[in-house]
Structure formats: C-alpha cells, structure tokens
Amino acid sequence: MSFQHVCVLGATGSIGISTLDVIARHPERMAVYAVSGHTRMELLAQQARDSAARVVLVPDEAARSRFLAAWQGGVLPEIRVGAQALADTAADPQVTTVMAAIIGAAGLPSALAAARAGKRVLLANKEALVAAGRIFMQAVQEGGAQLMPIDSEHSAIYQCLAGELPAEPGQPVAALRRLLVTASGGPFRSRSLAELDEVTPEQACAHPNWSMGRKISVDSATMLNKGLEVIEAHWLFSVPVEQIDVVVHPQSVIHSMVEYIDGSVMAQLGQPDMRTAIAYGLGFPERLYSGVGLLDLATMGRLDFEQPDFVRFPCLRLAYDALRSSQAACVTLNAANEIAVDRFLERQIGYTQIPAVIEHCLDRLNGRASQALEALEGVLELDSETRSLALDYCRVSARI
Ligand code: NAD
Ligand code: MG
C-alpha cells in the first residue's frame, strides 16, 4: 500500500483522538495532512503540533484567534476557516485518505466531497449515510472512492464479508441470509419505562462498555444509535431491511455477525476499542497494530444475548419504520433526533421526550415522505425544516 496523507475531520472528538493515536504508531506508512475541530482549540493546537499537520480547519475567525493564542511555537500550519474549507480539504489532491468523524449531519458535505474526489473514506459519521444514503453511495461509485466503515458493527460486518463482497460497491452479496447487528443495550438495558422518566444526561452518557462522544452516548442509551446503524448497514452493504436484525449482547465483545444461506454464521470479536476498526480501515487490506490489548475470554466467562425491546426503546422502532418508509423519513428521523438529544443534554427536555420529538416531526412531515431526495440541497433543506419543527416542539414541551 502506498503512503497515506490523512485528513482527520473531527480530530478533537472521540474518534478523531483514537485516529491520531493509530496514525502516530505508523510513521513509515502514513502522516497527518489536516486536522479539524469545531471547539476545543487548545486541544486542536496540541494535535496539530504533535502530528505535524500541514493544514488546520477551524469554524470561524474567533476560533482561529483561539487557535493562534493556544499555539505553542514551531512551524505554524496553514489555517483554513469555515465549513466550505472542510469539504475543499477533504477533496484536496494532496490528501489520499479522509477520516469522516464529524458528528451529525454537519459532517455530510465534507464526507460527500471526499467520496466524490475518490479518496479512501473512513466513514465514522453514520448520520451521512442515514440522511443521504443513496446520494453518498452514488458518489462513492462515481468518484471511485474506497469506502471503509468505521462504526464497530459495520467494520465487523465488512470483516465477516471478506471474500464475498462484490467488486462494485452498492451490489448485494449473493450468499447472504441476514446481518445480525449487535447492541449492548446501553446503560438502561434493564430499566423499566417508568424509571426512565427521571434519567439525567450524566446517567445517559455513562455507557457500560464504550467511551464515546456525548451525542452518540445518548443515542446508545435510547438505542436510536442502533436504528441509525441498521440504516447505515442497509446502504453500506445493499441489504434490504428485512434481512437486518438487531440482537442485544450486553458484553459488546461480538461486534456483529453475518449469516450465510448455508447456515454458517461469522462473527468478529474484540475489545470495545474503536482503534481496531480505525486500524482496519487505515491498513486494509493489511492489518496494522492498533494499540488494542488482548481479548481475555476466560476472564469474561460468558457472552449473553437477548431480543431488543421495541416498547422500552421506541427509537429503535422509529428508525426501522423510517427505513421502511422513505429516504425523507430517515432525514427527518436523524435531524429531529439531533435536536432532541441536544435539548436533553441542555436539560431542556426529559429523556423520554426524545422519541416524542422524533415522532412529532415524522408525523408532521409525513407528506414529504414521497419526496425524491436526489440532490444534497433537498436533503439539507428537509434537514433544516425538521430542525425548526423539532426546536418549536421542544420549546413548547420544555421542562423549565
Ligand atoms: P465527538 O462529539 O466526540 O466529536 C465530534 C467531532 O466533530 C469533534 O471534533 C467536533 O469538534 C466536531 N464537530 C462537532 N460539530 C461540528 C460542526 N458543526 N462542524 C464541524 N465539526 C463539528 O463525536 P464522536 O463520538 O467522535 O463521533 C464522531 C462520529 O463517529 C459520529 O458520527 C458518531 O456517530 C460516529 N461514531 C462514533 C463512535 C465512538 O466510539 N465515539 C463509534 C461509532 C461511530
Ligand atoms: Mg456502533
């Protein structure tokens, strides 16, 4: 494999930090070309210095000033400002590889630009596929990009499909019977509906197995994250919704499974550490050392499995319904959830109101379900319409 120049979008986040950790272990194979951050400019300055990034991406002039104030000396990287710079840098001819690890639909334009420019795209930003699956997969195909899933479940499925994947992305795997996407069940796996009413952001963010950003941690608690992952799997592997099942597996050791028509089931196991999936995406088709330690099954003792509960976790049902319904419903699901989670983290709405916000938006925008979303503009328009609707709803039902 030739030397990789990596643009790390969302470097200051949980996935970004793990990505820089893996890259730093392989200076003979890869280097950081650019890092982006939306907040935490001190951390970004530190990362840019440590990785000797040539370009730094910041959201606005105020952030640029904070970055400069935090800069500790050494060769100052080029600073590019604004959202357009993210997409432009992802498509920069000097970049071979893009880690798309911005959170939420905000990461869609830059991930899409990387796909169109034919990069190796390490896709952590699942919201890009949820909101614009068809557009994104088409861009991958037309741009000749190499798409590597970074979500642990999808990396697991990719690894279990090795040897069976069609040469052309977007084509189905002939011998596949179903995908078994595992879910930890999050911190509230065994809580009753009544107990969920008073849940705080701190409790929702305390995931039993994985350490992640706050938004995805709440998504894991509501299991909306698993719903997004079902939609993500549908697009990544061209699998119809009827062939994608979720199985709750509290230990998070099996990261997902693939069942073939002959009855054979392949599973990928490992520690709950995203560096495994990141190293796989960076190194493919080779395997790279990731820094992840040994998996000690004997100490663990047992692996458990159970059915997901669609009553206690209505967000999972809403996501399945959206996927069955339309692309527009998926856009609305995602945007409404982003607002609802943000409002919950700001203590403006209660935990059990998150699915209510999503359901309200899906109901109100139901008429748009048949709308064809063939271009990014249509997706972004519906996304912002949903956000306004969700914000209004949250304001009315706010607790304080
Ligand atoms: P995070 O909140 O820790 O980091 C998000 C990054 O995006 C930060 O660098 C932040 O500065 C940047 N950002 C936020 N808003 C932005 C905006 N409007 N414009 C530009 N940049 C912005 O999130 P994370 O947990 O690292 O997750 C990143 C992505 O990876 C998400 O899509 C998430 O679903 C996915 N993912 C994360 C994990 C995990 O273990 N953390 C696992 C699987 C998938
Ligand atoms: Mg995941």
Instruction: Give me the pLDDT at residue 211, please.
Output: 84
Q: Given a cut of 60, is residue 399 above it in pLDDT? A: no
Could you tell me the CA-to-CA distances from 268 to 54, 176, 257, 276, 397 in Å, in that order? Answer: 36, 16, 7, 11, 43
Instruction: Give me the pLDDT at residue 369, please.
Output: 67
Instruction: Give me the pLDDT at residue 398, please.
Output: 76
Task: For residue 116, give the amino acid letter.
Answer: R
126 in a labelled binding site: yes
Q: Given a cut of 70, is residue 189 above it in pLDDT? A: yes
Q: Given a cut of 80, is residue 113 above it in pLDDT? A: yes
Distance CA 38, CA 83 (A): 10
**Strands 254-260 vs 265-269: parallel, antiparallel or unpaired:** antiparallel
Q: Output 368 or 378, whichever has higher pLDDT.
A: 378
Q: Given a cut of 90, is residue 208 above it in pLDDT? A: no
**Ligand 1 centre distance from Cα of residue 299 (Å):** 32
- Report which bound ligand comes closest to the CA of 256: 2
Average pLDDT of span 87-104: 98
**Which residue ranges have their beta carbon within 6 Å of ligand 1?**
10-16, 37-39, 101-103, 106, 124-127, 151, 210, 212-213, 215-216, 274
18 in a labelled binding site: no
The 10s digit of each residue's pLDDT in 145-167 is 999 999 999 999 999 998 888 87
Count CB neighbours of 130 within 10 A.
29
Are the C-beta atoms of 30 and 4 separated by less than 8 Å? yes
Average pLDDT of span 383-395: 96
Distance CA 244, CA 229 (A): 10
The 10s digit of each residue's pLDDT in 28-63 is 999 999 999 999 999 999 999 999 999 999 999 999
The 10s digit of each residue's pLDDT in 120-129 is 999 999 999 9
Closest residue by CA, ligand 1 atom 9: 10
Alpha carbon 237 to its chain centroid, in Å, reads: 16
Instruction: Give me the pLDDT at residue 281, please.
Output: 98
CA torsion sign for 181, 187, 191, 194 is: negative
**Ligand 2 centre distance from Cα of residue 206 (Å):** 16
CB hemisphere CA count around 370 (13 angstroms): 1
Average pLDDT of span 213-217: 94
Percent of the chain with pLDDT over 90: 90
In three-state secondary structure terms, 244 is: strand
Distance CA 153, CA 230 (A): 10
Report which of 116, 115, 59 is spatially closest to residue 85, judged by C-alpha positions.
59
Q: Given a cut of 70, is residue 233 above it in pLDDT? A: yes
All domains in the chain, ordered by first residue = 4-149 (3.40.50.720), 160-190+202-272+280-300 (no CATH), 326-396 (1.10.1740.10)
Instruction: Give me the pLDDT at residue 374, please.
Output: 84
